[in-house]
Amino acid sequence: MRNRINWIIPVITIATLAILQPACSKKKDDQTGGDAFTQLMTRGNGFFEKGEVTNAIAAYLEATTRAPESLDARLNLANAYLLAGDSANAIEQSQQALNLDHNSAAAYYVMGCAQLRLDQAETATKNFQQSQHLDPAVTALNFQLGLAQEKLGHLEEAITQFESVAKFEPQHPSVHYRLSRLYERAGRSADAAQEMQKHQGVSAKNAGVTATAATFEKCKYTLPRIAFA
């Protein structure tokens, strides 16, 4: 009887190891996949912050392949396309992000910026308003919405948005100039003159600094997101 027990124990041990080995192997593979995703996102963020958008896009594209349901990867890719001036792909990736989370204020914002660059002011306005509904305290969003409303000829709505920017960011490099022009069109000459004076003061402090569309779009929504697998 004792010999039979001694024979059974090794068999059970071997069978147990055979069962556990695939599970352990799968766990190891999952960890490796997660590590690769994190490395790709980190690499992409490094390229993005240095302005090397072509390399950033390549890294983020591979990250979305490894983790197609990662909202962070989609938003990073959308922002990289926006920075590269590829508005069509920025819109597409923003939509992919919204498919994952329809309450992503960042995705609505990036999509709106890309649409505004394509002179699609009406759809951009709708997306900016949706982003603002979800998260109202973003000054760059007020500015972009002001630009969109101005393009649509909605002067009072544009003025309201730009006034909000001027209140919370008085050293903004463009808002006082925009307000001056709109006040003039609205027949508010004294206000227009005052805003132009403020603009000249801000410009003197920022002499030699070149502003681009990306300068005015920059906010928490356009910062690269840390990897989360």
Q: Residue 222 carries which DSSP code?
A: G
Both tokens of 143, joined, read: 């500015």
Q: What is the DSSP string of 72-87?
A: HHHHHHHHHHHHTT-H
Chain Cα centroid distance, residue 228: 15
Give residue-wise pLDDT tens across range 28-83.
444 445 689 999 999 999 999 999 999 999 999 999 999 999 999 999 999 999 99
Give residue-wise pLDDT tens across range 127-181.
999 999 999 999 999 999 999 999 999 999 999 999 999 999 999 999 999 999 9
Distance CA 129, CA 17 (A): 58
Task: Say whether pLDDT at 17 is over 50.
Answer: no
Write the CB contacts of 112 (distance below 8 Å, at least 6 apart in sequence): 123, 124, 125, 127, 128, 131, 144, 145, 148
Beta carbons of 222 and 110 less than 8 angstroms apart: yes
Give residue-wise pLDDT tens across range 197-217.
999 999 999 887 888 999 999
Both tokens of 174, joined, read: 């463009």
- Secondary structure class of 131 (helix, strand, coil): helix
Specify the pTM: 0.84
Angle CA 213–216–219, to nearest 5: 125
Both tokens of 203, joined, read: 């410009």
